[in-house]
Amino acid sequence: MLEFSSKALCPLDGRYEEIKDELSEYFSEYALVKRRIIVEVKWLEYFINNILNIEQEDKKSYISKIKRIINKYNFSEFKRIKEIEEITKHDVKAIEYYINEKLELLGLSKLKCFVHIGCTSEDINNVAYALMIKEGLSDVWLKKSNKLTNKIDALSKEYSSIPMLAHTHGQPATPTTVGKELKVYAYRMKEAINYLKMIKIKAKFNGATGNYSALSIAYPNIDWEENSKTFIKKYLGLNFSEYTTQIEGHDYIARILDSIRNFNNILLDFNVDMWLYISMGYFKQIPVKNEVGSSTMPHKINPIKFENSEANIDISNSLCMALSNKLTKSRLQRDLSDSSSKRNIGLAIGYSLQAIHETSKGLDKCVVDKEKIEANLIDKWEVLAEPIQTMLRKYGYPDAYDKLKDLTRGKDIKEKDLKSFINSLDFLAKEDKKILLDLTPLNYIGYASKLADRK
């Protein structure tokens, strides 16, 4: 295994092979061939159940037998299909010939003529990819992205009340809490995930140019559009694509890839902030015995998990964008470029998964340094200029903003300076003056704790 992975061209097949193991059942060549078989066999099943004039008992027997073709698929069967493909030089036609071989062995030779009937290759392929995407997202990507989102959300509650100096434009700003800032990312990630889940995964099954032409000639008294819709929805659990050329338009794939890119970008933003918080000392990284941070500087614990996540996001985003741009375009009724492009969908998702994995591992090594955060905040009395000038506005104080600007901007303001100013404001009601005098950089956090604790 080490020899194979060390010679892999793609890191997902080598260094990151854990991700490959999770995704290979959904996006590998082996997985694509399996789902092509599923589509062909289910189409034959649909014909047996709904089109052919067969006795009910025979139907049950035939369907029970042909389902074995799916259930017994393994690597040996995959190799046989690839042997046939070496002769046909056509991947989908190889599936048809393979199924015909199996029907002969099952004593169902009379059904061979109904395998792939009325279909173009893209009828099989677009459904196969739709199944791969649906299952790969549901079983792997959505589970992993939800798990990371929930981890960040849990941390937001744990750290909900730890005050922290905020930074806008890199400068000291109105305090917040560690938990509230984490909550922002958990919320954004959930929104991105929910949007992706709403996208309908579509498929078409309508012949060479999307007009049901061949089947309408062979069986003129059957409503093939309605049968196609039933087959896609009930037999395959997908949404029906009503108008197509030879290919399904791939618009839903583009939307899914764009949604993954959106999630990636939120995760990238999170990684950058975590990197900055670590560099500022707000988070400490837990040292792991025997791990090395630098080949020459023994003291170092580098935030490499967040950096690795950034790199994998960049690759995933590039693939998502390239595929989203490509797949929605096709010359006239079709060209073959989408076929080669779609084979890289698994890579786009795989690099996103690797980024999620790296960020999660990075979080596992981080703990909040409360003392460092408090020390950084306690002397930033200038951040209280905002609530003081806002209180003065309430009383109609002229030029309240400019007064506080003159008092605080670019100056080393201390507690005594602000309190002296507050005490000079004789027009303030006693309770309002007390509110201002009780304010500190540590307790001026507004609703931050409540927002972080919210479900």
SS3 assignment for 44-106: HHHHHHHCCCCCHHHHHHHHHHHHHHHHCCCHHHHHHHHHHHHHHCCHHHHHHHHHHHHHHHC
pLDDT at 295: 57
Query: If we measure between CA atoms, which residue out of 147, 29, 4, 133 comes closest to residue 81?
Result: 29
pLDDT tens for each residue of 34-61: 999 999 999 999 999 999 999 999 999 9
The alpha carbons of the chain give a radius of gyration, in whole angstroms, of 31
18-117 under CATH 1.10.275.10, yes or no = yes
pLDDT at 5: 54
How far is 372 from 285, CA to CA, in rounded Å? 13
Mean pLDDT of 435-451: 97
Per-residue pLDDT band for 178 (boundaries 50, 70, 90) equals very high
Mean pLDDT of 221-242: 98
Is residue 352 pLDDT above 90, yes or no? yes
Q: What φ, ψ does residue 161 adopt, rounded to 5°?
A: -110, 10
CB 316 within 8 A of CB 351: yes
CB 40 within 8 A of CB 97: no
Is residue 417 pLDDT above 50, yes or no? yes
Is residue 125 pLDDT above 60, yes or no? yes
Q: Which CATH superfamily is domain 379-453 in?
A: Fumarase/aspartase (C-terminal domain) (1.10.40.30)
How far is 317 from 338, CA to CA, in rounded Å? 18
How far is 414 from 443, CA to CA, in rounded Å? 16
Same fold, 122-206+239-374 and 379-453: no
pLDDT at 293: 66
Mean pLDDT of 166-182: 96
pLDDT at 350: 96
pLDDT tens for each residue of 240-299: 999 999 999 999 999 999 999 999 999 999 999 999 999 999 999 887 777 766 656 777
Which residue in the list 138, 279, 294, 318 is annotated as catalytic? 294
CB 399 within 8 A of CB 189: no
How far is 164 from 181, CA to CA, in rounded Å? 9
How far is 94 from 368, CA to CA, in rounded Å? 58
Mean pLDDT of 134-146: 98
Query: If we measure between CA atoms, which residue out of 174, 178, 197 comes closest to residue 186?
Result: 178
Half-sphere exposure of 38 (CA within 13 A, CB side): 20
CB 327 within 8 A of CB 342: yes
State the distance between the two ends of the chain, measured CA to CA, in whole angstroms.
Answer: 45
Q: Flag the least confident range among 98-107, 283-292, 363-372, 410-419.
A: 283-292
Tokens of residue 95, six digits: 């599936």
Locus of tokens 């060479």: 208
299 labelled catalytic = no
How many residues does the structure list for the chain?
Answer: 455
How far is 346 from 297, CA to CA, in rounded Å? 39
Q: What φ, ψ does residue 172 adopt, rounded to 5°?
A: -55, 135
The domain ranges of the chain are: 18-117, 122-206+239-374, 379-453
Half-sphere exposure of 19 (CA within 13 A, CB side): 23
| DSSP 8-state code for residue 200 | P
CB 249 within 8 A of CB 328: yes
pLDDT at 291: 74
pLDDT tens for each residue of 6-38: 577 788 887 877 888 899 999 999 999 999 999
Which residue in the list 6, 169, 295, 299 is annotated as catalytic? 169
Mean pLDDT of 115-138: 97
Class for domain 122-206+239-374, per CATH? mainly alpha
How far is 306 from 359, CA to CA, in rounded Å? 5
Percent of the chain with pLDDT over 90: 89
Cα dihedral sign, 272-453-358-320: negative
169 labelled catalytic = yes
pLDDT at 3: 55
| Longest Cα–Cα distance in the chain | 101
pLDDT tens for each residue of 304-350: 999 999 999 999 999 999 999 999 999 999 898 888 899 999 999 99
Average pLDDT value over all residues in the chain: 94
Tokens of residue 314, six digits: 């960049």
Per-residue pLDDT band for 2 (boundaries 50, 70, 90) equals very low
Q: What φ, ψ does residue 177 adopt, rounded to 5°?
A: -125, 155
How far is 259 from 253, CA to CA, in rounded Å? 10
CB 67 within 8 A of CB 92: no
